[in-house]
A and B are shown apart, each in its own frame.
Chain A
Amino acid sequence: MKSILLAGVAAFTFAAAAASAQTVGFSQIGSESGWRAAETTLTKQQAEERGIDLKFSDAQQKQENQIAAIRAFVAQGVDAILLAPVVATGWDSALEEAKDAEIPVVLLDRSVDSSDDLYLTAVGSNLVHEGEVAGEWLVETVGGEPCRVVELQGTTGSSPAIDRATGFRNSLDGHGNLEIVRSQTGDFTRSQGKEVMESFLQAENGGADICALYAHNDDMAVGAIQAIKEAGLKPGDDILIVAIDAVPDYFQAMAAGEANATVELTPNMAGPAFDALEAYWADGTIPPKFIQTESALYTQADDPQGEFERRKGLGY
């Protein structure tokens, strides 16, 4: 309640100061994970930097709250709406109302299955591409040496697990020296990552036969690093480690030299979204229907300690 009041006061003073500032409504799913909390923080930061007046609405994982928020934004006559949809279906009528009011809608990180003329564009990452970036790093790092790779997969059947596995294999294709010898799910969790890595080490001659580990997310890699240390090996040295997500704890491991690389799933979806909106407001430029965020690669050369400091305040 207090924060709503504060936000209201801030919005009021801001509107008074810059009457021409654009107003954007943001309907966020909730704060179920650290990544999403970071997305919210970054969206607010981006809006502030660009002088955009952001109206934030937390839906607490409920679609009806999001639909209510969209209707409220339409009634307030905002200049654009950002929507991180909690589910894929059931958005037609809310999006039509926004369209009738000529308010552009930008989808963040998840898509909807409504007709694509109901929204301006969607911003998101390409999961297959993330796997490919990780694979390319390993191919380049290993060079021509033979390398036996173990893989910690995400939750069996989930789309990140399937796509990140596919992308990684795409990159390894044609490099016969790299071979995925073991692949098992660690359910995206730290404790499972550790337990499964222990079994990999046991099965592969105490880890002596493993040259690299590919984990579908950083948390599993952090667990695996502990397993490798307890087995008396040096993670990042005896076993190369590459993962995906770029969370603060993993940067800490990189700074300590215990991990080698990670591919960022950026929580900054709002940056590209605001870029597209600003171009649209300026001269009506219609962006492509899908804007793919950059899947940046971070290695030990990229100041992991600094990246850790930068990220730890974002709410991960």
Chain B
Amino acid sequence: MKRGAPVALLAIGMTLVVATRGIDLSVGTVIAISGAVGAATIANGYGLVPALVTAIAAGLAAGLFNGILVAFIGIQPIVATLILMISGRGIAQLITEGRILTFNLPSFAFLGSGDFLGIPVPVWIWVLAAALVIFLVRRTALGLLIEAIGVNRKASALAGVNARVLLIAVYMASGFCAALAGIIITADIRGADANNAGLWLELDAVLATVIGGNSLLGGRFSISAAVIGAMIIQTIDTGILLAGFPSEYNLVIKAVLVVIILVLQSPNITGDLKFLRQNLFGGRAKAAARQEAGK
């Protein structure tokens, strides 16, 4: 549960972006940037609150940048966020001057490896973030408007939805979630590793979103399902580590398990299974029904 916190947080933001028929590939890099910014703030002698504020501000700024590229300039989301995915790691390295920036601040480290009421703090963070986002999108019209953009942006704009502002908002939400994940990762190892923090995590986040049953083509979405998807991925990862296979097999095993999960979920396969079941067990009843109809 605790190890899955970064991917779960990313999956929350990613689900919102995906619901608008977008994708945010930059989240892994945003983790590195916000972690580096937070660690640099502490290294310069500031306390917990300034570190959190600057780290989250970095995430929001990254989201704003992505959102403007997508909403106003009209660049395809995959390309727009790719820009930051590639270049952002350089920014993070500039901040840490290419080394692992270590710091010693127990209150910040607490966010990564502490416990509150017997539950690890990272788990609190992602559960609260998920609850907040679910509340916002389901108790207000926000979720519906986001889905509307994903289904048909032009039509929703004509219907009076302010698509641009909403798009920027979802990318900023994604940046915010990535910043939280960056804080957790950085606090966990008490150092900002600009080269490796969050590396390839954006792909795990997309995977979690898809395992949760969300379509990359936008529209209907479920945050809780995406978070469950993230937990499934983490269970697989931890399970592989505990099982003690040689490391060469890690990725193969993961791939096989993910394929199995996706196949079980696929609407086509589910349809086929239902068809088979009906033919095997309900064959006689159907034949009788057909005879009835024939009469």
Contact = CB atoms under 8 A, between A and B. Distances in A.
Given A219-B100, A230-B113, A202 B193 contact: no
B131 interface: no
A156 B191 contact: no
Given A153-B247, A191-B196, A316-B99, A184 B241 contact: yes
B246 interface: yes
Interface string A138-160: 00000000000000010011000
Contacts of B197: 191
A121 interface: no
Nearest to A186: B247
Interface string B123-158: 000000000000000000000000000000000000
A241 B235 CA distance: 28
A195 interface: yes
Interface string A238-252: 000000000001000
Interface stretch (A30-38, A124-132, A272-280): A30-38
Contacts of B242: 199, 202-203
Contact of A187 (B100, B102, B189, B196): B196
Interface string B243-279: 0101110100000000000000000000000000000
Given A191-B189, A199-B241, A202-B242, A37 B247 contact: no
B253 to A, nearest CB: 13
Nearest to B250: A185
A183 B247 contact: yes
B247 A189 contact: no
A289 interface: no
B247 A226 contact: no
Given A199-B241, A249-B100, A191 B247 contact: no
Chain A interface SS verdict (over half): helix
B215 to A, nearest CB: 31
A226 B196 contact: no
B185 interface: yes
Nearest to B239: A199
B98 interface: yes
Interface string B164-201: 00000000000000000000010011110101110000
Contacts of A199: 238, 241-242
Interface in A2-38: 31-34, 37
A223 interface: yes
Contact of A194 (B102, B188, B247): B188
A75 B250 CA distance: 52
A190 B247 contact: no
Nearest to B237: A195
Contacts of B113: 226, 230
Contacts of A157: 248
Contact of A183 (B3, B100, B238, B246): B246
A98 B267 CA distance: 66
16 contacts: A33-B98, A34-B99, A183-B247, A185-B250, A190-B189, A190-B196, A191-B185, A191-B193, A192-B196, A194-B189, A196-B241, A198-B3, A203-B244, A222-B189, A226-B190, A249-B100
Given A183-B247, A194-B188, A199-B238, 17 more contacts: A33-B98, A34-B100, A156-B247, A183-B246, A184-B244, A187-B196, A190-B191, A191-B188, A191-B197, A203-B244, A219-B100, A219-B193, A223-B189, A226-B188, A226-B189, A249-B102, A249-B191
Closest 6 CB pairs of A and B: A199-B241, A185-B247, A189-B196, A34-B99, A190-B189, A156-B247
